[in-house]
Chains A and B, each alone.
Chain A
Amino acid sequence: MKIHEYQAKEIFKKYGLPVPNDVLCHSVEEVEKAMAKKEGMVVVKAQVLVGGRGKAGGVKLAKTKQEALDAASQILGMDIKGLTVEKILLADAVDIEKEFYVGLINDRNTKSVTLMASAEGGVEIEEVAKNTPELIHKFPIDPLTGLLDFQAREIGMQLFGDVKLARKAADMLQKLYTLFVETDATIAEINPLVLTPDKKIWAIDGKMNFDDNALYRQPEIEAMREADEDELKEIDAHEKGLSYVKLDGNIGCMVNGAGLAMATMDMIKLYGGEPANFLDIGGSSNPQKVVDAMNILISDKNVNAVMINIFGGITRCDDVARGLIEALDTIKSDMPIVVRLSGTNADEGLALLKDKGLPTVQTMSEAAQKAIELSRVQES
């Protein structure tokens, strides 16, 4: 789960990280009100759940109240990578002597929370990561000890080369680690971490993502969720025991198992079609799941054919076939469907479906080709 910069900064503040004063605004009027109380320069920042805001013109420095109002009216309503800006953050500007990068992730290889830090922070960090990865230092943290004082100081020294600043930075790094673990984050990033000419350190941008599997114990994080239309559909599917991700193609897929569902999408593409979605219905033959899954596929206006791909393991194919028949009788849609069943009792299952007049095949490649053919007939 992703959250906005302003939400990440709320968490930072709660854990005592130094964040410049800011105000969240939804309209130019709110900006006007907020600016009445402010002195000095502000940064007007679009709050959208994608990266690359700055390059898209969603971040502007304003020296006067009028400039802030102008920036706000330009940025509110702006489209950034397909998302409309509905909120902006007015943050007090700070003088920048140097920009740093610090971030925490869960590293799969070391099976640890890993701190990444670089003295080359700022908007080009991805370029730094790609071209000069040696400039980003990585420190795996032992989960049983956490980030120890001396370790945090050492990293601080590597970044700032000054004991006093290193101590300040160490305190911030330890706070960042604590909040990362306590909120079940998957990313906690400060970029840039800024050093001012008067030797103060500020977190002037923040990014956080969270572990979906841990949201059950993070009600405060869950309450921060802002889902767009596609995500709402995905969440709704999840509540029904389905795993769904919408894509842009026209061939709907319904599959049991995540790996097989991905392989099914790939197969459709391999034979020249475009998959409309990822959809894993899990392992049971429960007709209700098939009904829910079909309803999701039908509600996608791009879908004009459906490929159902089931490998019967413990759940036998004849049971799956009975479930499918019951579900399709309930739905009464005229969506063209091809069903592929394989595995335990496949022949019995296929025979049941044939009696119902459903096109059935035994291999994935045949199913993909048939689904593409059905979709093309619909288009012509």
Chain B
Amino acid sequence: MSILVNKNTKLLVQGITGRDGQFHAGRMKAYGTNIVAGTSPGKGGQEVDGIPVFDTAAEAVKKTGANTSIIFVPAAFAADAILEASYAGIELVIAISEGVPIQDMIRVNSIIKRNGTKLIGPNCPGLITPDEALIGILPGMIFKKGNIGLISRSGTLTYEVVNMLTMNEMGQSTVVGIGGDPVAGLYYIDLLEMYENDPETEAVVLIGEIGGDAEEQAAEYIAKHMTKPVVSFIAGQTAPPGKRMGHAGAIISSGSGTAEEKIKAFAKANVPVAKEPSEIPGLLKEKLAKANA
């Protein structure tokens, strides 16, 4: 087991003939991800790296049985691509595209909810179940199969933490980058619930950052519903208010969304917060030892 993706995932790459799409399709395939199709309007019939290209997502799903898709199209076209996948019957869409307008994502989330499609992103690095499926732009070589789940709003900070986990012999069940935008698809609580129900996951690392109150809500959820240990890290303690820190969602507005409030919420929920990323493996070991005692 694992969550969301595994070796049965049949992946469709939307925007496969673009520079990023082509590059990452090759990398995902080399990792062992089962890529069954790509799309690029007007380029149906071609092949990229041995992967058949179709004009539309609907055709790709019909001919190949794709159940998951990843989106590499430019931001202005991302909303349409997500909807195309959703209407084609794709169950899980991962949107890598950065810079998608918020209004587009509000509309998209409302429609895909009705269609029953799950979305991760946009503006995210994707997700990985080590040794089974890499769907995104994550560097596969730093991951190791194991029992730690990880959810994060950031990319390289995730790799930093995963690298430390792997070096400490703490492999991962599934690692999910949910993205740095204010309005996104699956979020902490959705994923915490999946990890709680996943027999392969023993503990979860939650990497948050300033902006919004999703971490506070996650803390509340953990206190009420999680039996598995959770450890966290919050980036942006030194961020000034009113300034967007790279991610569109990483902004302290009208005094809310500060790191301080989030850390306080986790402390209240008995979730240890690492002062620096390198403390995470140690905190996890402590929590796991207590849980197994």
Contacts A111-B109, A113-B106, A217-B76 given; does A343 touch B246 at CB 8 Å? no
Please determine whether A363 and B250 come into contact, CB atoms closer than 8 angstroms: no
Q: How far is the CB of B260 from chain A (nearest CB, A)?
A: 12
Chain A residues contacting B291 (CB-CB under 8 Å) are: none
Chain A residues contacting B243 (CB-CB under 8 Å) are: 245, 278
Say yes or no: is A33 at the interface (Cβ < 8 Å to chain B): no
Among A214, A257, A278, A364, contact of B276 (Cβ-Cβ < 8 Å) = A364
**B255 and chain A: residue at smallest CB distance:** A126
As a 0/1 sequence over residues 62 to 102 of chain A, the CB contacts with chain B under 8 angstroms (1 = contact) are: 00000000000000000000000000000000000000000
Interface residues in B, total, Cβ within 8 A: 60
**A263 and chain B: residue at smallest CB distance:** B235
Please determine whether B152 and A259 come into contact, CB atoms closer than 8 angstroms: yes
Q: How far is the CB of B238 from chain A (nearest CB, A)?
A: 4
Please determine whether B240 and A245 come into contact, CB atoms closer than 8 angstroms: yes
Contact residues of A: prevailing secondary structure: mixed
Interface residues in A, total, Cβ within 8 A: 51
Please determine whether A258 and B103 come into contact, CB atoms closer than 8 angstroms: no
As a 0/1 sequence over residues 49 to 82 of chain B, the CB contacts with chain A under 8 angstroms (1 = contact) are: 0000000000000000000000000011000000
Chain A residues contacting B109 (CB-CB under 8 Å) are: 111
As a 0/1 sequence over residues 105 to 148 of chain A, the CB contacts with chain B under 8 angstroms (1 = contact) are: 01011011100000000000010000000000000001110000
Please determine whether A247 and B277 come into contact, CB atoms closer than 8 angstroms: no
Bound-state Cα–Cα, A233 to B167, Å = 39
Say yes or no: is B269 at the interface (Cβ < 8 Å to chain A): no
Please determine whether B248 and A364 come into contact, CB atoms closer than 8 angstroms: no
Bound-state Cα–Cα, A282 to B100, Å = 17
Contacts A184-B102, A266-B237, A314-B137 given; does A126 touch B254 at CB 8 Å? yes
Among B163, B182, B217, B233, contact of A343 (Cβ-Cβ < 8 Å) = B163
Most buried by B among A258, A261, A280: A258
Say yes or no: is B244 at the interface (Cβ < 8 Å to chain A): yes
Bound-state Cα–Cα, A111 to B249, Å = 13
As a 0/1 sequence over residues 264 to 307 of chain A, the CB contacts with chain B under 8 angstroms (1 = contact) are: 01111110000100101001000000000000000000000000
**A144 and chain B: residue at smallest CB distance:** B110
Chain A residues contacting B76 (CB-CB under 8 Å) are: 216-217
Among A143, A213, A283, A312, contact of B248 (Cβ-Cβ < 8 Å) = A213
Bound-state Cα–Cα, A77 to B152, Å = 46
Among B105, B155, B277, contact of A364 (Cβ-Cβ < 8 Å) = B277
Say yes or no: is A260 at the interface (Cβ < 8 Å to chain B): yes
Say yes or no: is B213 at the interface (Cβ < 8 Å to chain A): yes
Please determine whether B183 and A111 come into contact, CB atoms closer than 8 angstroms: yes
Chain A residues contacting B152 (CB-CB under 8 Å) are: 259
Chain A residues contacting B210 (CB-CB under 8 Å) are: 262
Please determine whether A258 and B105 come into contact, CB atoms closer than 8 angstroms: no
Please determine whether B106 and A184 come into contact, CB atoms closer than 8 angstroms: no
Say yes or no: is B212 at the interface (Cβ < 8 Å to chain A): yes
Bound-state Cα–Cα, A245 to B249, Å = 15
Contacts A144-B107, A213-B100, A278-B239 given; does A261 touch B278 at CB 8 Å? no
Chain A residues contacting B209 (CB-CB under 8 Å) are: 259, 262
Say yes or no: is A311 at the interface (Cβ < 8 Å to chain B): yes
**A256 and chain B: residue at smallest CB distance:** B156
Q: How far is the CB of B100 from chain A (nearest CB, A)?
A: 6
Please determine whether A280 and B246 come into contact, CB atoms closer than 8 angstroms: yes
Q: How far is the CB of A51 from chain B (nearest CB, A)?
A: 9
Please determine whether B102 and A211 come into contact, CB atoms closer than 8 angstroms: yes
Please determine whether B278 and A365 come into contact, CB atoms closer than 8 angstroms: yes
Among B103, B111, B217, B276, contact of A211 (Cβ-Cβ < 8 Å) = B103
Bound-state Cα–Cα, A311 to B278, Å = 14
Say yes or no: is B262 at the interface (Cβ < 8 Å to chain A): no
Say yes or no: is A243 at the interface (Cβ < 8 Å to chain B): yes
Say yes or no: is B173 at the interface (Cβ < 8 Å to chain A): no
Please determine whether A314 and B139 come into contact, CB atoms closer than 8 angstroms: yes
Among A213, A216, A311, contact of B159 (Cβ-Cβ < 8 Å) = A311
Please determine whether B27 and A314 come into contact, CB atoms closer than 8 angstroms: yes
Among A113, A217, A259, A269, contact of B156 (Cβ-Cβ < 8 Å) = A259
Chain A residues contacting B254 (CB-CB under 8 Å) are: 126
Say yes or no: is A342 at the interface (Cβ < 8 Å to chain B): yes
Please determine whether B246 and A364 come into contact, CB atoms closer than 8 angstroms: no
Say yes or no: is A28 at the interface (Cβ < 8 Å to chain B): no
Bound-state Cα–Cα, A262 to B75, Å = 24
Q: How far is the CB of A148 from chain B (nearest CB, A)?
A: 15
Say yes or no: is B142 at the interface (Cβ < 8 Å to chain A): yes
Among B106, B111, B240, B246, contact of A258 (Cβ-Cβ < 8 Å) = B246
Extra pairs beyond A269-B237, A313-B156, A344-B139 (15, CB < 8 Å): A111-B106, A112-B106, A143-B103, A144-B110, A181-B103, A186-B102, A247-B238, A259-B153, A259-B158, A263-B276, A266-B237, A275-B238, A311-B163, A313-B142, A343-B160
A-B contacts, 9 of them at CB < 8 A, read: A106-B103, A109-B214, A126-B254, A213-B75, A245-B243, A257-B156, A259-B235, A262-B239, A364-B160
Q: Could you tell me which A residues sit within 8 Å of B by CB distance?
A: 106, 108-109, 111-113, 126, 142-144, 181, 184, 186, 211-214, 216-217, 243, 245, 247, 255-263, 265-270, 275, 278, 280, 283, 311-314, 342-344, 363-365
Going nearest first, the 5 A-B pairs with the smallest beta carbon separation are A259-B154, A258-B246, A257-B156, A259-B157, A313-B139
